Amino acid sequence: MKQFILIAFAFISFSSFSQSFDGVPISGDLPTAIAKFKVKGYVLDKYVANGVIMKGRVANSPVELFILTTPKSKRVFKMVAFLEEQISWVSLKSEYYKYKNILTEKYGNSDETYDFFSQPYYEGDGYELSAVGQEKATFAAYWFKRDNLTLGVEISKFKQVKLVYENNQMMEIKNKEQSEIESNSF
């Protein structure tokens, strides 16, 4: 029985730790998350619908961090970090693969990966950044349901690497609350 309790405790501790971004849990209330990021040196930029935007540094890289909450209970369910805009395709691609490799090392191979350009663009044509801005470059990798966490790394149309951390349990609550709002509205 003691062994079972120790294993259960270890699993819960590991799962709770894994469901975080820069050491801050992707759950709980927004004021607590803001306070924890402020301790780490982040600065509150502005409030947005169902969340906030903060600016700070993670792993020595500047980020713009979106912390999103459920519509009714206002619990944190998702964090999205945008790294700095890149001015060259080489630097953008390099940064994307750097973070993709970090997540692969930690969580294993991604469940879905997309690395391609859409017509008329192609790698080596010299217009890769134009393709990114016009959403004709699809570079993204996703890890589903890893320790109650869904993760993603993408190249955004803003020429930035985007990291997405989503708590699966909190996402279910978000979807339920949104459904209730929509059901009550119509």
Query: Quick one: pLDDT at residue 185?
Result: 84
| Sign of the dihedral through C-alpha 5, 11, 12, 14 | positive
Query: Quick one: pLDDT at residue 2?
Result: 41
Q: What is the pLDDT of residues 53-83, one digit of tens each?
A: 999 999 889 999 999 999 999 999 999 999 9
Is the pLDDT score of 7 beyond 80? no
The H or E element containing residue 57 is strand 51-58
- pTM here? 0.86
The band of 117, judged by pLDDT with boundaries at 50, 70 and 90, is: very high
CA dist 78 and 97 (Å) reads 22
Q: Which domain holds residue 115?
A: 2-185
CA dist 17 and 6 (Å) reads 16
Greater model confidence, 62 or 18 = 62
For the chain, the domain total comes to 1
First-to-last alpha carbon distance for the chain, in angstroms, is 52
Other Cβ atoms closer than 10 A to 103: 19
Per-residue pLDDT, averaged over 13-33, amounts to: 78
Q: What is the pLDDT of residues 139-182, one digit of tens each?
A: 999 999 988 999 999 999 999 999 999 999 999 999 999 999 99
Place of tokens 């859409």: 118
Asked whether the beta carbons of 54 and 44 are under 8 A apart, the reply is yes
Query: Quick one: pLDDT at residue 186?
Result: 84
Greater model confidence, 25 or 2 = 25
Region of poorest pLDDT, from 14-18, 26-30, 122-126, 177-181: 14-18
Asked whether the beta carbons of 133 and 67 are under 8 A apart, the reply is no
* Chain centroid offset of residue 176 CA: 21
